[in-house]
Amino acid sequence: MSDHVDSFEKRASLTRREFTLEAALALLAGCVITISDGCASATSPTTVTPPADITGLISANHNHTGVITGAQITAGNAFTFSIQGTAAHPHTLSITQADLTTLKNRQSVSRESSADFSNTFGLHTHVVTFTPA
């Protein structure tokens, strides 16, 4: 039993320096230190420029317009839209997910419009080409 009392007395007689060191080690025992090479990296981070809106070039055009927005390219969801513009008759154009991926990769996409009737031009279609800048 006297051994037990001796060890207690030894702990109670820590110096201020020993106590501070033990307290600091106890606090650090619960900390996680992460070291990264963020500043040491020789390469700079790449920034992704969002796609710009792309206006389509329409074959045999008579006042039709078609624009695929940068937001539509980024979203990547297939859609169908009107290219009527100020023409007197409508046409629609379907864009697939694959088309949007192609545009995102800065490659051209060409699609044929719906066949629609016009009093001036009869039943006809247009080929619309979207070329990213």
Average pLDDT over residues 106-131: 96
- Is residue 32 included in any domain, yes or no? no
In a 3-state reduction of DSSP, which class is residue 50?
coil
- Is residue 123 included in any domain, yes or no? yes
Q: Tell me: the pLDDT tens digits for 44-103?
A: 667 678 889 999 999 999 999 999 999 999 999 999 999 999 999 999 999 999 999 999
Q: Name the band, by pLDDT with cuts 50, 70 and 90, for residue 43.
A: low
How many domains are contained in the chain?
1
pLDDT value at position 44?
Answer: 64
- Is residue 121 included in any domain, yes or no? yes
Identify the domain containing residue 115 by its residue range: 54-130
CB 74 within 8 A of CB 51: yes
Whole-number Å distance between alpha carbons of 124 and 128: 13
Whole-number Å distance between alpha carbons of 110 and 104: 14
